[in-house]
Amino acid sequence: MKTKLRWGILSTGRIAGVFARGVAASQAGQLAAVGSRTPAAAERFAREFGVPRAHGTYEALLEDRGVEAVYVATPHPQHAEWAVRVAQAGKHILCEKPLTMNHAGAARIAEAARAHGVVLMEAFMYRCHPQTAKVVELITRGAIGRVGLVQATFSFHADFDPGSRLWNKALGGGGVLDVGCYAVSYARLVAGAADGQPFANPVRVAGAGLLHPQAGVDAYAAATLQFANGIVAQVACGVGLQQDNSVRIYGSEGWLHIPAPYQPGLVGRAVIFLYRRGRDAPEEIAFDAPPLYALEADAFAAALAAGRSDVPQMSVADTLGNMAVLDQWRAALGLAYDADQA
Ligand SMILES: NC(=O)c1ccc[n+]([C@@H]2O[C@H](COP(=O)([O-])OP(=O)(O)OC[C@H]3O[C@@H](n4cnc5c(N)ncnc54)[C@H](OP(=O)(O)O)[C@@H]3O)[C@@H](O)[C@H]2O)c1
């Protein structure tokens, strides 16, 4: 029997626990170790999620010979340092979104992964869900005709709290990096699918938004993306505003509404509504899939088993294109972080 991919979890915050549960529910992965900046947090996490080994430093996790792949789930500004160090330790990397603060940092991680021959994936878990694959298939086979417009939002309101990573500039706060990255990645996925490609990069990006007066990061923002194939995408995000968090894709023969595009089956029902021109009621395409983060762990393991250098659902080239758009969107808002000076 094939052995399971042995995961190390780097950090012990909110999403690290969610992913640990995903690995435990996966077909091809198993939890091996966790690393934290503090031994107490590592031990608490190991107890809560049934992780065999707890390390009181991230370095000790990277030295753990029983760990093959590391899931990096620190705040965004720490992703670059630790993802590069994971690569240097010869372990595969699943790093939380956004891969890092900007395109330049993402390119450094990509280069480290290439140089050390390890798999790299930015953890856009929604790409691994069958609902997303179905959206791509519907577009590719022309179910809504020629696609013209994509609308994608991802936003929530968190009360202003300078201690929270969402509002703290030094911790990469603001909506564009935290959730705008999803909306941009969905729009790029759809624009690519219209041409039978895994993604497309826009030729023009125009953005606007509101910088929070105390935090100095975007409370909410919107952008328009123009693609070479004529598709236009409107994306919006925020950490200080409620939005409907859906994707709508409009074509010449109908349109798709995806009410839970990013966390299908977890936050909202996994379902696509297909509206065809001339028919009142939409066709409903529903999904009963395994847990979202288990799918992500299994997609990663499958790519590794297939000898790939990255994961087809979210390739490194796709990540670099996404980061470039986020850079342009932030530039339009006048939003720069310390990492942009590096
Ligand atoms: N894919 C998804 O569904 C999803 C959902 C939420 C968040 N995320 C991403 O995952 C990352 C973490 O988000 P989160 O909500 O889990 O954050 P969080 O709850 O604040 O946890 C972050 C963890 O990072 C570690 N850390 C390292 N350096 C830190 C520093 N300087 N300040 C604070 N913590 C530090 C800490 O773990 P130790 O104390 O153990 O070292 C901390 O618990 C972000 O990049 C975010 O974009 C992804």
User: Averaged over 159-188, what is the pLDDT?
Assistant: 98
pLDDT digits (tens, 9 = 90+) for 139-157: 999 999 999 999 999 999 9
Separation between Cα atoms, residue 61 and residue 85, nearest integer Å: 11
At the topology level, CATH places domain 127-289+322-341 in Dihydrodipicolinate Reductase; domain 2 (3.30.360)
pLDDT of res. 215:
98
Measured distance between the N- and C-terminal CA atoms of the chain, rounded to whole angstroms: 47
Q: Which strand (E) or helix (H) includes residue 135?
A: helix 130-140
Q: What percent of the chain lies above the pLDDT cut of 90?
A: 97
CA atoms within 13 A on the CB side of 2: 9
**Which two structure tokens, joined as six digits, stand for 248?**
């709508």
User: Closest Cα to atom 21, ligand 1: which residue?
Assistant: 13
pLDDT of 202 > 90? The answer is yes
Q: Is 160 exposed, middle or buried (0-12, 13-18, 19+ CB in 10 A)?
A: middle
pLDDT of 253 > 60? The answer is yes
DSSP letters, 253-315, are: TEEEEESSSSSTTTSS--EEEEEETT-SSPEEEE---S-HHHHHHHHHHHHHHTT-SBBTTB-
Q: What is the 3-state secondary structure (H, E, C) of 51-86?
A: CCEEECCHHHHHHCCCCCEEEECCCHHHHHHHHHHH
**Which two structure tokens, joined as six digits, stand for 194?**
């219209």
pLDDT of res. 30:
98
Assess whether the C-beta atom of 92 lies below 6 angstroms from ligand 1.
no
pLDDT of res. 236:
98
Instruction: Report which residue type is found at 175.
Output: G
Distance 165 CA to ligand 1 centre (A): 8
Q: How confident is the model at residue 42 (pLDDT cuts 50, 70, 90)?
A: very high
Distance 20 CA to ligand 1 centre (A): 13
Separation between Cα atoms, residue 292 and residue 83, nearest integer Å: 23
Which residues are known catalytic residues? Answer: 97
Strand order of the β-sheet with 218-226 is 204-211, 218-226, 232-238, 147-155, 247-251, 254-258, 271-276, 283-286
Rounded to the nearest 10 degrees, what angle do helices 316-333 and 181-193 cross at? 120
Q: How confident is the model at residue 280 (pLDDT cuts 50, 70, 90)?
A: confident
Cα–Cα distances in angstroms (integers) from residue 194 to residues 120, 189, 250, in the given order: 26, 9, 12
**275 close to 250: Cβ distance less than 8 angstroms:** no
pLDDT of 1 > 60? The answer is no
Same fold, 5-125+294-313 and 127-289+322-341: no
Going 8 to 12 to 13 to 17, the CA torsion angle's sign is positive
pLDDT of 266 > 80? The answer is yes
Looking at every residue in the chain, the average pLDDT score rounds to 97
Which ligand 1 atom sits nearest the alpha carbon of residue 34? 40
Assess whether the C-beta atom of 136 lies below 6 angstroms from ligand 1.
no
Sequence ranges of the domains in the chain: 5-125+294-313, 127-289+322-341
Integer-rounded Cα Rg, in Å, for the chain is 20
Assess whether the C-beta atom of 36 lies below 6 angstroms from ligand 1.
yes
Superfamily of segment(s) 5-125+294-313: NAD(P)-binding Rossmann-like Domain (3.40.50.720)
Instruction: Report which residue type is found at 275.
Output: Y
Distance 70 CA to ligand 1 centre (A): 14
Distance 10 CA to ligand 1 centre (A): 9
Q: Which strand (E) or helix (H) includes residue 49?
A: helix 39-49
DSSP letters, 179-224, are: IIHHHHHHHHHHHHHTTTSS----SEEEEEEEE-TTT-SEEEEEEE
pLDDT digits (tens, 9 = 90+) for 83-121: 999 999 999 999 999 999 999 999 999 999 999 999 999
pLDDT of res. 342:
77
pLDDT of res. 298:
98
pLDDT of res. 46:
98
Separation between Cα atoms, residue 191 and residue 197, nearest integer Å: 8
Q: What percent of the chain lies above the pLDDT cut of 70?
A: 99
Assess whether the C-beta atom of 2 lies below 6 angstroms from ligand 1.
no
Assess whether the C-beta atom of 25 lies below 6 angstroms from ligand 1.
no
